[in-house]
Structure 1
């Protein structure tokens, strides 16, 4: 039997998820078939239900449907409930749709394992206070940083997001303008959408140095403006390709019961993006 999966989003033609998961299938000797599915906000819920009824085993959910996916699921993992968003749905054998969020686990795995940057006792800056940022808060705080500070154009949104996770560790929030005069951060993560539109957050000088890792959660063939800014500060810059691969590996583990050796997938993906 071939297990079937898809990724649902809008737009979706650019997604590398089918390539990643087919590679995982080869690496683990699992027979899977993974496709792309486009939906609209109005058709998303029915698309998920129809996919389950077709006999499929699961699906990934990408922008802009991760929060809508919470409502489609009948059970949620602790990560998904805390994040308020779902990027992985498991069509469980008991007939229930179980929602998971593997984004934060993927981000942390890429930073700590692939980039070899420990987060424990480090100063971490998270840019943005939307769904992408909320989805990674708990896994970041689980690594016990000295501080996780959320910065956003609208300060009140950053403060509100920080307050939702203050029970998990040292977290604060504020506007971009409040970063002026802050000491250097060890890790700066861009969870805003401005990079996709050729812009970047209004960041002051002095918050990044050659000791810093600057991580853009988006990925593409060229450096984003955030990555270019980071390099001009002397920081090490990387994109979110590793996060894509690592969160996909967590999804694959949920569905297939085995976590692929992700390092084997990177050469092929970098070739595709070059």
Structure 2
């Protein structure tokens, strides 16, 4: 039976084995997918040993996505631009790297019938999570994508990587004077409980709010969005299942059906 892993530290919270085993059952693919806690200084050795033992592929989560990039013999263009890898494929002695996070986000937004083409999008944060979604968002032909970050230089650096006139970096005080159709939280604020420095005037009945974080309860950002009557307030669970579906497709050549797995996962939270 083909073997797959997800590597992280911590890893006990990972839903990936649950998701991939459901995909395997649904598509009748013979595979075994397990989570593995990796010591912070053992990532490269762990991956190489697994590949050598006949492993077929692996997902990578925090904090190893940048290290995974350096391990790869070949990278997809989206992984190169994201500067991070979440999907490894082992083939003919080579390690191939991809990043499916952005596709997971975009597909979830489209599943919620969010109009991305011609829209003005605000992306909060300029770290790894934000980097991974910029290219797939730009591929949806938005009018603009504005990156806002507490450290302005970090947002500017991200924008320079992509060299696209629709993409710009702004301070939080700047964006609070603007108007957007879609606001995406790619910061860690929902994990730390910090309040985002955006004004409630940005949110109204025409604005979709999306948080990459998910939980049993609404994140602080989504609670804020609902309080100010956002058109939709969507958490990141669909993104999680969507990026997993793209990884599964890369490995198996079969596209699993997402919605039933998403509802099972939602129930299990």
What TM-score do the two structures reach when normalised by structure 2? 0.97
Aligned to 1:264: 260
Q: Is the 8 A contact 1:150 1:158 kept in 2?
A: yes
Partner of 2:167: 171
Q: How many residues align?
A: 268
Counterpart in the other structure of 1:107: 105
Once the two structures are superposed, the pairs formed by residues 57-96 of structure 1 within 5 Å of their partners are 57-92=56-91, 94-96=92-94
Please give the per-residue CA displacement for 1:7-42, whole angstroms capped at 9, x wherever unaligned.
101110001000000000011001111111111331
How far apart, CA to CA, are the structure 1 residues paired with 2:27 and 2:86?
22
TM-score, normalising length: structure 1: 0.95
| Alpha-carbon separation, structure 2, partners of 1:219 and 1:61 | 18
The reply to whether residue 152 of structure 1 matches residue 149 of structure 2 is yes
What SS does the corresponding residue of 1:120 show, helix, strand or coil?
Answer: coil
Partner in structure 1 of residue 197 of structure 2 = 202
- Give the alignment partner of residue 122 of structure 1, picking from 119, 123, 130: 119
**Poorly superposed stretches of 4+, deviation over 2 Å:** none
Aligned-residue Cα RMSD (Å) equals 1.0
Query: Which of 234, 239, 243 is the equivalent residue of 2:239?
Result: 243
- 8 Å contact 1:182–1:206 — kept in the other structure? no
Q: Which residue of 2 aligns with 1:8?
A: 7
Q: Secondary structure at the match of 1:50?
A: helix
In the alignment, structure 1 segments of 5+ residues that lack a partner are: none
CA distance in 1, matches of 2:87, 2:176: 38
